[in-house]
Structures are given as C-alpha cells and as structure tokens.
Amino acid sequence: MNWKTEWKVLAAIAGVFLAFFYLPVGTERFDNAVLEALYLAKWYAREHVLLCLIPAFFIAGAIAVFVSQASVMKYLGARANKILAYAVAAVSGTILAVCSCTVLPLFAGIYRMGAGLGPASAFLYSGPAVNVLAIVLTARVLGIELGIARAIGAIIFSVVIGVLMHVIFRKEESQKAAAQMALPEEEVKRPLWQNGLYFASMVGILVFANWGKPGEATGIWAAIYHSKWVVTSLFAASLGTMLVLWFAIKWWKVALTALPTVALAFIFPEQPMVAFAAAVIGLSWFTSTDKGEAGEWFSSSWGFAKQIMPLLLIGVLVAGALLGRVGQEGLLPSEWVSRAVGGNSLSANFFASFAGAFMYFATLTEVPILQGLIGNGMGKGPSLALLLAGPALSLPNMLVIRSVLGTKKTIVFISLVIVMATFSGMVFGTLFG
C-alpha cells in the first residue's frame, strides 16, 4: 500500500467532511447566497444561452469549417501585417456588441484556426469592451467625460494588451509563425463574398436578437429596438436561403424549420424566444443530419458548446454566490464594495478593477450598476477602472479562457487588464475627479 497516496485520499475525504460539517446552512447570508447563485444561473439561462451563446457557437463552428486557415492567418496570424491585424481585432466590438461570455466561442474559433496570440487577445478584449451602444449609454447616463474615456480606453487597451501578450510570449509566437509558413495553401470552396454574406447573416442574428432596450422611448436606438425581431427575421431568412443555394441543404428541410418558426412567431408575438428556439432546433436538426459541410459545421459548433458551457455554468454559480445579482446580496456584503471604491487612491482603483474583473456583466448592465455605486460614493477614477475591466472579464469568462490559452497566458491576460484599468482609473480620477 502506498501510504503517501492514501494520506492524500484521507486528507481529501476529511476536507470534504469538515466542509459539510461546518456548512453554515440556516444562516441568512449563506442561504441567500445559495439562492442568488441559482437565481443568477436561471437568469443567465433565460437571457443569454439561447439568444447569445447558441448563435455564437454556430458562428465559431462556421469559422472552424468554412473559413480557410490561410485567410485567418493572412489577417490575424502570427505573420500577418501587425497594423491590419490589430486594427481588425480592436474594432470588432463595434460590430458584435457581445458580453464577456458570448465572445468566447468566437475567440476560441479564430485562435484555433491560426490567429496570432496578440490579435486574438485584442479581439478577446475588444469584443465586449468596444461596444458602441454601451459607450453611448455610458455617456448619456454617467456623463460625457466617462463615456469618451471609456471609448478611447477600450480601443487603446485592446491594442496594448494584444501587443504585450505577443511580446511576452514572443518565443511561442515565433515558433507558431514558422509552423504556419510550412502549411500548404487550402482549396477555396466558394468565393469570399459568399462566405462574407453568410457570416454577416449570422452576426446580424446575434446582434439584433440581443439588442438591448435603450433608456429613452424615442430616437434611433429605440427605433432599432422596436423593430429588432423583424430585422432578426430578415437575417434568418437570408441565412436559410444561402444554406440552400450555396451549402447544398435540401430546401424542404429549411422549409420544415421556417414554417413552425413563422407560425409560433404569430401565435406568441409577445414571446419571440419561442419562435427563436424553434429556429435553433430546426437548424440543429438539418445540419446535424447532413453528411457534408453542414454536418461538419454542427459537429464543430457542438464541440465548442461542450467545452464552454459547463465552465460558464460553474462560473455563473460561483459569481452569483459571492456577489449576488444587481441590488441583491451574496456572501460578500455590497457595502464592502461601496466603501472600498471611494476616492481615487491606488487601492480604490485596484479594488474596482479587480472586483469588476470577477463580476459578471451582461451587455449594458454595467451602466445601471455603476450608477448605483456612484450614488453610494464611488469615485470617478474607480468608475472608469470598473468600466474598462468589468465588461471584458468575468469569472466564467476566465475559466473558459484558461481552457483555450492555458493557465500562464490566462493569468498574464487578466493581470494586464487589471493593472491597465487601475492605472487608467488613477489618471482619469486625477484629471477629472
């Protein structure tokens, strides 16, 4: 018997036993934290899995199957033109408008297809951070100074973080570039414009299905919000047409998906997610049963889902237990947060960056959260620090990044975001505090 191994087993059993023995069940804060974890997971499942993550999984799967590795490497690879690569990655958020979790399948897709670590990291940050609607909302609700600082900071951050990731891991990137030189040219199956329209239709579905309700009832943002499902339907119809014409999907399979989807949209006009779910089920059915490219597309999308979804669920549960939902208490009292982010000290800016990095912010929710914290005494510097670190990172997001990049690169990426957000907050607080 190997006593060294057995002692480890005994220690693990004893640790689990003691944890349950002293579990503070019955105390108000602990019981409430458990409920908050479940409430947050329920909210996340209702608001984000169907509308955000599933479209993102399909886009990521399509990147892996329909985008040639040569194309990814040409624009984002380790040997790509650096100015072009970082420019493309840095402004991606203006198109996507996704949260820190929704960007993950897209990031994993381009990274595995050969994108350089620097451009991929810039994309990972910019996807949720450079969000035009969120920046506009920040300026209207929290002030023009904070809105402009957020916009400039997010774009600069994405480039600087990407460049630093490349420099820090330049040895690995050099090896990756050398390996990419030896790859043969891939055969192009369809013209670039067809692939471009195909991806545009899926991105359109993702963006407009998740278009958030603006603060005012009139204006261009409100007009888009009120017509978002019509626009989403047009993108979906375009996708179905392209699948028939360019991807050899049988027309009757697309029709069998479209008919119940349209019927449910009219039967349940106030519950558009019912029709959206029918469309997703139909798309999954006719792609999973296809023996060609569409079948590969579904398999790739399913692979991303299996890898990412369990980690996100664990992260959401932990984040809910620790921090609770907006306006609710988790294990950590909210008054600790309010007390820690007053003024413009190094500790206040660091705490805002650190706490923001671990909290989960759905798209646009950071603005009302920050509005409440400012009302409780949060300084301008820490406010910007939280805006620059919070939307781009979260505990669920970190778990998935680690599964793609590994522990070392993930720690460096998180540290860069937190340190740069802290520094930016201090500078902003000094100038405008």
Q: What is the residue-wise DSSP string for 164-222?
A: HHHHHTHHHHHHHHHHHHTSPPPPP-S-HHHHHHHHHHHHHHHHHHTPPPPSSSSSHHH
pLDDT digits (tens, 9 = 90+) for 9-58: 888 899 989 988 888 888 888 888 899 889 888 887 887 788 888 888 89
Q: What is the pTM of this model?
A: 0.75
Q: Stretch 312-340: mean pLDDT, rounded? A: 77
Report the share of the chain in percent with pLDDT over 90. Answer: 27
pLDDT at 80 over 60: yes
Is 328 a member of any domain?
A: yes
Angle at 217 between CA 214 and CA 220, to 5 degrees: 70
Range of the domain at 105: 51-180+188-249+290-432
Is 97 a member of any domain?
A: yes
Is 306 a member of any domain?
A: yes
The more confident residue out of 155 and 416 is: 416
- pLDDT at position 3: 67
- pLDDT at position 1: 58
Evaluate whether 97 touches 207 at the Cβ level (below 8 Å): yes
pLDDT at 409 over 60: yes
Is 351 a member of any domain?
A: yes
Distance separating alpha carbons of residues 190 and 192, to the nearest angstrom: 7
Is 32 a member of any domain?
A: no
- How many domains are there within the chain? 1
Is 418 a member of any domain?
A: yes
Is 82 a member of any domain?
A: yes
Is 193 a member of any domain?
A: yes
pLDDT digits (tens, 9 = 90+) for 117-175: 888 898 888 877 777 667 776 887 778 888 889 888 888 888 999 999 989 998 887 77
pLDDT digits (tens, 9 = 90+) for 164-214: 998 999 888 777 766 665 555 555 577 878 888 998 999 899 888 888 777
Distance separating alpha carbons of residues 32 and 38, to the nearest angstrom: 10
